[in-house]
Amino acid sequence: MKKLLKLSIALLLTSFMMSACKSSHVYNVHKHKIDHPKSSKRVYAAIRKAGRSLGWKITKIRPGIARGKLYLRKHLAVVDIYYNSRSYSIRYVNSRNLKYNAQKKTIHKNYNSWVQNLERAIDTRL
Protein backbone atom coordinates (compact mmCIF):
# COMPACT_ATOMS: atom_id res chain seq x y z
CA MET A 1 0.00 0.00 0.00
CA LYS A 2 2.88 2.38 0.83
CA LYS A 3 4.47 1.67 -2.56
CA LEU A 4 1.21 2.51 -4.31
CA LEU A 5 0.94 5.78 -2.37
CA LYS A 6 4.55 6.72 -3.17
CA LEU A 7 4.04 5.87 -6.83
CA SER A 8 0.85 7.94 -6.95
CA ILE A 9 2.60 10.94 -5.39
CA ALA A 10 5.56 10.59 -7.76
CA LEU A 11 3.23 10.45 -10.78
CA LEU A 12 1.27 13.46 -9.54
CA LEU A 13 4.44 15.52 -9.03
CA THR A 14 5.81 14.49 -12.42
CA SER A 15 2.54 15.43 -14.09
CA PHE A 16 2.52 18.81 -12.34
CA MET A 17 6.13 19.54 -13.31
CA MET A 18 5.52 18.56 -16.95
CA SER A 19 2.47 20.79 -17.23
CA ALA A 20 4.33 23.68 -15.59
CA CYS A 21 7.15 23.38 -18.11
CA LYS A 22 4.83 24.00 -21.03
CA SER A 23 3.59 27.43 -19.97
CA SER A 24 5.27 30.63 -18.90
CA HIS A 25 4.27 34.17 -18.09
CA VAL A 26 3.47 36.11 -21.24
CA TYR A 27 6.56 37.93 -22.50
CA ASN A 28 5.91 41.53 -23.51
CA VAL A 29 8.49 44.08 -24.61
CA HIS A 30 8.04 47.43 -22.88
CA LYS A 31 9.53 50.58 -24.45
CA HIS A 32 12.64 48.91 -25.84
CA LYS A 33 15.01 51.80 -26.50
CA ILE A 34 16.32 52.34 -30.01
CA ASP A 35 20.02 53.22 -29.69
CA HIS A 36 20.20 55.61 -32.63
CA PRO A 37 16.81 57.26 -33.15
CA LYS A 38 15.36 56.91 -36.64
CA SER A 39 12.23 58.17 -38.32
CA SER A 40 9.04 56.29 -37.47
CA LYS A 41 8.85 55.26 -41.12
CA ARG A 42 12.27 53.58 -40.90
CA VAL A 43 11.36 51.92 -37.61
CA TYR A 44 8.22 50.45 -39.16
CA ALA A 45 10.22 49.23 -42.16
CA ALA A 46 12.68 47.49 -39.81
CA ILE A 47 9.81 45.89 -37.86
CA ARG A 48 8.18 44.68 -41.06
CA LYS A 49 11.40 43.20 -42.47
CA ALA A 50 12.27 41.58 -39.15
CA GLY A 51 8.83 40.03 -38.86
CA ARG A 52 8.82 38.80 -42.44
CA SER A 53 12.19 37.11 -41.96
CA LEU A 54 10.67 35.02 -39.14
CA GLY A 55 7.33 34.25 -40.75
CA TRP A 56 5.31 36.99 -39.06
CA LYS A 57 2.75 38.89 -41.13
CA ILE A 58 3.16 42.54 -40.12
CA THR A 59 0.56 45.15 -41.08
CA LYS A 60 0.26 48.78 -40.11
CA ILE A 61 -2.92 49.51 -38.16
CA ARG A 62 -2.21 53.23 -38.02
CA PRO A 63 0.92 55.37 -37.61
CA GLY A 64 2.79 54.12 -34.55
CA ILE A 65 0.98 50.77 -34.28
CA ALA A 66 1.61 47.59 -36.26
CA ARG A 67 -0.04 44.21 -35.84
CA GLY A 68 1.97 41.02 -36.09
CA LYS A 69 0.45 37.60 -36.76
CA LEU A 70 2.37 34.35 -36.73
CA TYR A 71 0.72 31.20 -38.03
CA LEU A 72 2.58 27.98 -37.22
CA ARG A 73 0.84 24.67 -37.90
CA LYS A 74 -2.40 24.95 -35.87
CA HIS A 75 -1.14 27.83 -33.72
CA LEU A 76 -1.70 31.57 -34.04
CA ALA A 77 0.00 34.37 -32.11
CA VAL A 78 -1.14 37.98 -32.46
CA VAL A 79 0.79 40.97 -31.10
CA ASP A 80 0.56 44.73 -31.38
CA ILE A 81 3.81 46.60 -31.88
CA TYR A 82 3.81 50.21 -30.71
CA TYR A 83 6.69 52.23 -32.11
CA ASN A 84 8.12 55.69 -32.54
CA SER A 85 11.53 57.07 -33.43
CA ARG A 86 13.00 56.27 -29.99
CA SER A 87 11.45 52.98 -28.82
CA TYR A 88 9.09 50.11 -29.53
CA SER A 89 6.90 47.78 -27.48
CA ILE A 90 5.48 44.36 -28.30
CA ARG A 91 2.26 43.36 -26.52
CA TYR A 92 0.23 40.18 -26.56
CA VAL A 93 -3.19 40.58 -28.19
CA ASN A 94 -4.57 37.12 -28.87
CA SER A 95 -3.66 33.53 -29.65
CA ARG A 96 -5.09 30.21 -30.71
CA ASN A 97 -3.96 26.79 -29.47
CA LEU A 98 -1.28 28.26 -27.19
CA LYS A 99 -2.98 27.55 -23.84
CA TYR A 100 -3.30 31.22 -22.88
CA ASN A 101 -4.60 31.73 -19.34
CA ALA A 102 -5.87 35.29 -18.88
CA GLN A 103 -6.09 35.05 -15.09
CA LYS A 104 -2.55 33.78 -14.62
CA LYS A 105 -1.22 35.62 -17.71
CA THR A 106 0.52 32.44 -18.85
CA ILE A 107 0.95 30.97 -22.31
CA HIS A 108 2.78 28.12 -24.02
CA LYS A 109 6.52 28.74 -23.68
CA ASN A 110 7.03 28.69 -27.47
CA TYR A 111 5.12 31.97 -27.74
CA ASN A 112 7.75 33.72 -25.63
CA SER A 113 10.53 32.36 -27.85
CA TRP A 114 8.75 33.66 -30.94
CA VAL A 115 8.39 37.16 -29.44
CA GLN A 116 11.99 37.20 -28.21
CA ASN A 117 13.17 36.17 -31.69
CA LEU A 118 11.09 39.00 -33.17
CA GLU A 119 12.61 41.45 -30.69
CA ARG A 120 16.17 40.37 -31.61
CA ALA A 121 15.41 40.55 -35.33
CA ILE A 122 14.02 44.08 -34.94
CA ASP A 123 17.11 45.14 -32.98
CA THR A 124 19.36 43.73 -35.70
CA ARG A 125 17.62 45.79 -38.36
CA LEU A 126 17.61 48.97 -36.30
pLDDT value at residue 46: 98
The pLDDT-based confidence of 68 (bands split at 50, 70, 90) is very high
Q: Residue 52: inside a domain, yes or no?
A: yes
CATH of the domain at 105: 3.30.310.80
For residues 107 and 24, the answer to whether their CB atoms sit within 8 Å is: yes
The tens digit of pLDDT for each residue in 88-126 reads 999 999 999 999 999 999 999 999 999 999 999 999 999
Mean pLDDT of the chain: 88
Q: Residue 77: inside a domain, yes or no?
A: yes
**Mean pLDDT, residues 47-69 taken together:** 98
pLDDT beyond 60 at 6: no
Of 8-12, 40-44, 65-69, the range with the lowest mean pLDDT is 8-12
**pTM greater than the 0.85 cutoff:** no
Specify the 3-state DSSP secondary structure of 16.
helix
DSSP codes joined into one string, the chain: -HHHHHHHHHHHHHHHHHHHHTEEEPP-EEEEEPSS---HHHHHHHHHHHHHHTTEEEEEEETTEEEEEEEETTEEEEEEEEE-SSEEEEEEEEEESS--BTTTTEEEHHHHHHHHHHHHHHHHH-
Q: Residue 15: inside a domain, yes or no?
A: no
pLDDT value at residue 23: 84
The pLDDT-based confidence of 3 (bands split at 50, 70, 90) is low
Q: How many structural domains compose the chain? A: 1
